[in-house]
Amino acid sequence: MDNAYHHFQLGDVYFQRGQFAEAEKCYRAAFEREPTDIDTRAHLGQSLLRLKRPAEACPLLEGVVVEKPDHDYGHTMMALAETLTALGETDKALLYWQHITQNHAYPRAKVQLAELYIAKNQPDAARAELKMVLSDDPYAPTFQRKRDRVWIRRAQSLMTQLQ
C-alpha cells in the first residue's frame, strides 16, 4: 500500500478539501517514490502555490509545462501563471495567460489576464476579456456557473471599475 499512486490519490482528496498542507505531505511522499510522474509534480506545485510558497512551486510547474504545455487541460499552466504573478514576473505570466485564453474559455484565466492588463494600464484589453467572461456566463451549464461564480463576481467588479 506504500506506493506513489496511493499517496498521490490521498493528496488529491486533501487538495479537493482545501487541506493543502496535508496534500503537500502526500504529494511529497508520492514524489519520493516516483519523481518523474508529471501529475505528482504538477499537483505538488499547485499545493505549494496554495500554501503561499510560489518560489518552491515555480520549478515544479515550469517543468511540467515545458514537458506538456496543455497538462490537465491548461490548469497547470494557469497555476504557473499565478505563481509567476505572485513572484512579480508579470511579463512572463502575461504570456502564459494569453496562451491559455487563446486555447480555453476559462473565466479564471480571462479575469486574471484582465487584472494584469489593468495593472499594465491596458484598460481596453482588460475590458475585452471581461466582456467575454460576462457574455458567456448566462449560457454555461449550472454546475459550471456555480464553480465559476467567484470569477464572474470579480469580472463584474472589475468591469464596474473600468467604466
* pLDDT score of 1: 67
* pLDDT score of 92: 98
* pLDDT score of 163: 85
Distance CA 29, CA 23 (A): 10
> pLDDT (tens digit, 9 = 90+) per residue, 83-111?
999 999 999 999 999 999 999 999 999 99
* pLDDT score of 51: 98
Task: Please name which of 58, 53, 55 lies closest in space to residue 41, comparing C-alpha atoms.
Answer: 58
| Radius of gyration for the alpha carbons in the chain, expressed in angstroms and rounded | 17
Q: Which residues contact 76 (CB under 8 A, 6 or more apart)?
A: 42, 45, 46, 61, 64, 65, 68
Domains of the chain from N-terminus onward? 1-103 (1.25.40.10), 105-163 (no CATH)
pTM greater than the 0.85 cutoff: yes
Residue ranges, the chain, pLDDT below 70: 1
Instruction: Please provide the DSSP assignment of 77-117 as one string.
Output: HHHHHHHHHHTT-HHHHHHHHHHHHHH---HHHHHHHHHHH
- What the block records as the C-alpha cell of 139 is 449560457
